[in-house]
Amino acid sequence: MPATQTGGAARTVIVTVDDDPAVSRAVARDLRRRYGESHRIVRADSGESALEALRDLRLRGDSVAVILADYRMPEMNGIEFLEQAMDVYPGARRVLLTAYADTGAAIDAINVVDLDHYLLKPWDPPEEKLYPVVDDLLAAWRTEDHRPVKETKVVGHRWSARSSGVREFLARNQVPYRWYSSDEPEGQALLTAAETDGTSLPVVITPDGRALVEPTDPDLAASVGLATTPSARFYDLIVIGGGPAGLGAAVYGASEGLRTVLVERTATGGQAGQSSRIENYLGFPDGVSGGQLTDRAHRQATRFGAEILTACEVTGLEISGSSRTVLLGDGTSVAAHTVILATGVSYRQLDAAGVDELTGRGVFYGSALTEAAGCKDQDVYVVGGANSAGQAAVYLARGARSVTLLVRGESLTASMSHYLIQQIEETPQIRVRTRTEVAAAHGTRQLEGITLRDTKSGETETVDAQFLFVFIGAAPRTDWLDGVVQRDDLGFVVAGPDLAVAGERPAGWPLDRAPYHLETNVPGVFVAGDARAESAKRVASAVGEGAMAVMLVHRYLERL
């Protein structure tokens, strides 16, 4: 049943959702009695219908101040609903309606969805139990800036690699946008208005009405208000990379008074930011999506004063006395006393015929979240045997007809966490094929099929496929450090005790002390997270190393 609405369109909205019709009407009645003249009340009887209503409100530019959700709803409980509602209206205040027996779940929800309050049912009399809570939440909501955000419009083709890249860039940078297919009337009308014939796609129409044809990431970032150039020429600390390690370093550096700038080539979050669900991160017993964790860390870093630059490619590092200068792809540079390398890793490319030509047109590297909607009722293939592949398979199985996990090894136990293996075993839509690799990808305009090869027998099989997600291996993004910072044979940065040879300081080390634990062979240049040789490759350890690197930065600066 669709959500029902009362009141005029210009008023701020309060949303309530409960699957019990009597309770739903009672909540809406009490809210309307107190707030009906100044707010519009939207009532829904399921999480799905409420999400649909929220998306419609967002598209119209309406403001939602408070969302009240019942905990015990079938198919999608109140916590699950609020978690998805956060992605639509992150600034709305969130209330969970619970029975006394559910208070434990409500307390857990404080971590999962930043719950603002939970109300025990019944809430009679509302003058004592409901209205004071809503009054406080509305007052808190009004203190923040909730001016409507004008949307960016993207016109492209579903099987265009660059169209896919633009959508992923905007989504990962939390930029509201609306997608229009160039094959449909609305998309054609926008192309006509933009005075382009659509031969070059995508076309991005900015909130101020400018049309950008096949924009680069830096052009796109600048057009939607993301910072792309540093505001100063010299800082205390430059953090390179915006994954968990880099965000952790930015939070701790800025919060401790260091003039901090973070430089990121695409979007903050790194590989973790693309994870549909991280369930083994401390403090989140019900898990947290990579996007939500990234968004919180990003906001936390900027609140402390860290400057975050997006779509900035780092091309080199120069050392001049106590200054460390980072060279950027646009020919500019930025300098600081210290640098933390938190560049993370990227997925290795799949070495199979036809894959390169079909990348972005059915073959995707680590973009399951962006493309998941298009996988509904499809047969999907995921390549990889580690946690990222497992998380993607579980997430895609929510809508796909089937998900086949392709693993080169004998089993998942060597590379995947136990909790994920259990989830995969309990999900009937997921099938695991071990000792299997992709030998080729087929298709003209888009992916149409893949050839699978048994790594033991060599036998091959060709299957129909429109979606192939690849999560294989990890290659560090460190080529630009060649000749300056010491790396191992695989490109990972060597630091601390690992630099010593037979207990001696590294060759060329200029100081009378040994390198600190995360310090590279260049004094004042540190490494944290997945880019470090022998790192743990886990979100928690990356965040911890980012914080530890800042502690060592302080120690270094004290001795300058």
Give the pLDDT of residue 208.
Answer: 81
Q: In this structure, is residue 134 part of a structural domain?
A: yes
Report how far residue 324's alpha carbon sits from residue 328's, in angstroms, rounded to the nearest whole number: 13
Of 442, 470, 498, at which residue does a domain stop? 470
Return the CATH number at 505: 3.50.50.60
Residue 253 lies in a domain: yes
> What's the CA gap between 357 and 198, in Å, rounded?
21
Geometric angle at alpha carbon 272, from 201 and 286, rounded to 5°: 120
Residue 549 burial by CB count (10 A; 0-12/13-18/19+): exposed, middle or buried?
buried
Closest CA to 264 of 474, 90, 477, 470: 477
In this structure, are 459 and 382 located in the same domain? yes
- Cα–Cα distance for residue pair 539/109, rounded to 1 Å: 21
Assess whether 135 and 11 both reside in one domain.
yes
Write the single-letter amino acid at 80. E
Residue 337 shares a structural domain with residue 483: yes
pLDDT value of residue 1: 46
Per the structure, the count of domains in the chain is: 4
Same domain for 170 and 134, yes or no, is no
Domain membership of residue 189 (yes or no) is: yes
Q: What is the pLDDT of residue 300?
A: 95
Is 404 a domain residue? yes
The 10 Å CB-count burial string (b at 16+, else e) for 388-415 is: bbbbbbbbbbebbeebbbbbeeeebeee
Residue 135 sits in the same domain as residue 74? yes
The answer on 461 and 548 residing in a single domain is no
The verdict on residue 480 lying in a domain is yes
Residues 200 and 127 in one domain: no
Cβ density class 227-249: b for 16+ within 10 Å, e for less? bbebeeeebbbbbbbbbbbbbbb
- Give the end of a domain, one of 223, 245, 280: 223
Tokens 């009597």 locate to 22
Residue indicated by tokens 């991280």 = 278
Cβ–Cβ < 8 Å for 102, 69: no
User: Both 14 and 123 in a single domain?
Assistant: yes
User: What is the predicted pLDDT for the residue at 161?
Assistant: 87
What's the per-residue H, E or C state across 254-318? HHCCCCEEEECCCCCCCCHHHCCCECCCCCCCCCECHHHHHHHHHHHHHHCCCEEECCCCEEEEE
The sheet with strand 379-383 has its strands ordered as 363-365, 467-470, 379-383, 402-406, 430-433
Burial class of residue 355 (count of CB atoms within 10 Å of its CB; 0-12, 13-18, 19+)? buried
In a domain, 229, yes or no: no
Whether 228 maps to a domain, the answer reads: no
CATH of the domain at 28: 3.40.50.2300
pLDDT of residue 17: 95
Indicate whether 490 and 448 sit together in one domain: no
Domain end residue (candidates: 91, 114, 142): 142
Do 126 and 10 have their domain in common? yes
Residues 493 and 543 in one domain: yes
Quote the pTM value: 0.73
Helix, strand, coil content of the chain in percent (nearest 5): 35, 25, 40
- State the burial class of residue 440 (Cβ atoms within 10 Å of its Cβ: 0-12, 13-18, 19+): middle
Q: Which CATH number is 171's domain given?
A: 3.40.30.10
Residues 97 and 110 in one domain: yes
The half-sphere exposure of 449 on its side-chain side, counting CA atoms within 13 A, is: 7
Segments forming the whole domain that contains residue 480: 234-346+475-558
Q: What is the Cα 39 distance to its own chain's centre?
A: 33
Q: Is residue 147 part of a domain?
A: no
Strands 333-341 and 525-527, how do they pair? parallel
Name which of 210, 237, 235, 239 is nearest 222 in CA terms: 210
226 contacts 310 by C-beta, under 8 angstroms = yes
pLDDT in tens, the chain (560 residues): 456 554 444 579 999 999 988 889 999 999 999 999 999 999 999 999 999 999 888 767 788 999 999 988 888 888 889 888 887 788 899 998 887 666 666 566 666 667 888 888 878 889 988 999 999 999 989 887 665 556 789 999 988 889 989 998 998 888 888 899 999 988 888 888 888 888 899 999 988 888 999 999 999 999 988 999 999 999 999 999 999 999 999 999 999 999 999 999 999 988 887 777 788 888 888 778 888 889 889 999 999 999 999 999 999 999 999 999 999 999 999 999 999 999 999 888 999 999 999 998 999 987 666 788 789 899 999 999 999 899 999 999 988 999 999 999 999 998 899 999 999 999 999 999 999 999 999 999 899 999 999 999 999 999 999 999 999 977 898 999 999 999 999 999 999 999 986 567 788 899 999 999 999 999 999 999 999 998 988 899 999 999 999 999 999 999 98
Q: Give the pLDDT of residue 186.
A: 87
